[in-house]
Structure 1
Amino acid sequence: MRNIAAGLLDVCCVLAFVAIGRASHEEAASLAGFAGTAWPFLAGLGVGWELLRAWRRPDVLVPVGVGLWVSTVAVGMVLRAVSGQGTAPAFVIVASVFVGATLLGWRLVARLAGARKATPAG
């Protein structure tokens, strides 16, 4: 169950990035447009899960969280470029910051919550 929840959280992070980005640029709210923006990053996330075997310890910040961050952005940008979508430097920076903050952020929160739970009440 932990693996499924972690995978869903990761997917939600990517989908939140896409939704916020499309809304901030007032792009049409079509399902096809949303999917067209999301697929390169979801593919990058999937590549990362496979290469890192993230299902073994999906909530680990380093190397899993960092590796997923890098693969999501790097593979996502390559796929965007190959498919004729934009990869402007500002977009790469925003994507890197947002995806990193969310993919690492939930793992950090989980780590802190786990540490707090393990600490006996005093």
Structure 2
Amino acid sequence: MKRLLPLVIDLVLVLAFAVIGRASHDENPVVGALGTAWPFIVACLIGWGIVLLLEDDGLGLRGGAIIWFFTLAGGQALRVISGGTTQVSFILVTAIVLGVFLGGWRLVAWLLRRRRATA
């Protein structure tokens, strides 16, 4: 249960990435979001599997970096394997947005834990 919330947060943020991306291209974000998101969702789950095999809680820098890397690289690979396309600009935007999304909430959580520990 302790790891379920961080996993759900990551999956929601990956879906948000797809919705925002579709909307930014004046495309229907609801219809196409799952088509865009599924490779990244699957890859995020694989990243979480690796983190759990390493007995990491997925909340720290190491776990977050592993999840981000697998979500980015695996998502791009699954996208291409399934017949989709990818361009350097898309890879860069994906890397930045997923880095901010998947790393950002972990940074906030770390700061809050640190603040509570010193209080």
> TM-score by structure 2 length?
0.92
Query: Deviation per CA, 1:55-114, whole angstroms, max 9, x where unpaired?
Result: 7412112x1000100000100000111112121100000000000111111111100000
State the AA in 1 paired with 2:22.
R
How many equivalent residue pairs?
Answer: 118
Correspondence list, 1:5-20, <5 A: 5-20=5-20
Question: Which ranges of structure 2 fall in alignment gaps of 5 or more residues?
Answer: none
Query: C-alpha distance in 2, partners of 1:56/1:64?
Result: 6
State the AA in 1 paired with 2:110.
R
Q: CA RMSD in A?
A: 1.5
Question: Which ranges of structure 1 fall in alignment gaps of 5 or more residues?
Answer: none
Corresponding residue number in structure 1 for 2:33: 34
List 4+ stretches of structure 1 deviating above 6 A. Answer: none
Structure 1 vs Structure 2: percent identity of aligned residues? 40
> TM-score by structure 1 length?
0.90
Structure (1 or 2) with the larger CA radius of gyration:
1
> Looking at both structures, which has the greater relative contact order when contacts are Cα pairs under 8 Å and sequence separation is at least 6?
1
Query: C-alpha distance in 1, partners of 2:28/2:74?
Result: 25
Corresponding residue number in structure 1 for 2:100: 101
Q: Is the 8 A contact 2:43 2:75 kept in 1?
A: yes
